[in-house]
Structure 1
């Protein structure tokens, strides 16, 4: 039986803009994924706790506040403490290329998507990486 990818979409920190996160959540749902949206102003510990409780495959962090070098590494450190490093962590938002590279190379963020990234690219990335990481058969997408 095919595995339905479970994605937690979260807005860490004090960022109050959630339109982009909601658009991403809807696109992932439309692609056949099960999406849990945590809402605004989530702490890293709230995000990790929800991800573990919901048994997600992916955490998608949307951040526009400029606090990405503080908040995103905190999430990945907490995942490591909870022995939940198998959860793929991706980020989206206004993140300069040098910071994105640092997050990927040193802080366990698998990929960073910036405004204007095609939804199909985000969906494809998640599907390919969850499938290869978990060696799963995924449902066919339309």
Structure 2
């Protein structure tokens, strides 16, 4: 997508059995206030549902929040599902409690950025605008 930064669309999702949603709601509000068109899918989404929503909503970014430790199984499966649907152009960012070694592995797999708890909202906005 070649939308101007302030017209970018981002889908935020909670994949799997992670019911912690306070952080993703704060990020959603921050991105919205920065001018992004934010779509929040809600809790307990399947990978297939998130990929379908990303396609339906024609998003530029997909942000996934995972706080239950399942990031090394869920995120690779999500990236593969995006590839299978020819949606690799969507930038994927991941938030949550992700050890640095796992962050590096996720970046190698195709994740564009990882953000942990306490990341300043302007840093996430700037990253998605670059």
TM-score range, shorter chain: over 0.9
1:17 alignment partner in structure 2: 20
Q: Which runs of 4+ in 1 moved over 6 A?
A: none
Q: TM-score, normalised by structure 1?
A: 0.87
Deviations 1:109-133 (A, max 9, x none): 11100011110000000011xxxxx
RMSD of aligned Cα (Å) = 0.8
User: TM-score, normalising length from structure 2?
Assistant: 0.95
Instruction: Describe the SS at the equivalent of 2:39.
Output: strand
Residue 108 of structure 1, CA deviation: 1.1
**Take 2:17 and 2:70, find their aligned partners in 1: how far apart are those partners?**
9
Once the two structures are superposed, the pairs formed by residues 116-131 of structure 1 within 5 Å of their partners are 116-128=118-130
How far apart are 1:89 and its partner, in Å?
0.2
Deviation at 1:26, TM superposition (A): 0.4
- Which deviations, in whole Å up to 9, do the C-alpha atoms of 1:78-114 show, x marking residues without a partner? 1100111000000000000000100101x21111000
Q: 2:69 aligns with which of 61, 66, 70?
A: 66
Query: Which residue, 93, 97, 120 being the options, matches 1:94?
Result: 97
Residue in structure 2 matched with residue 114 of structure 1 by the alignment = 116
Q: Which residue of 1 aligns with 2:45?
A: 42
Task: Say which SS state the counterpart of residue 116 (structure 1) adopts.
Answer: coil
Give the number of equivalent residue pairs.
126
Partner of 1:76: 79
- Which 5+ residue runs of structure 2 have no aligned equivalent? none
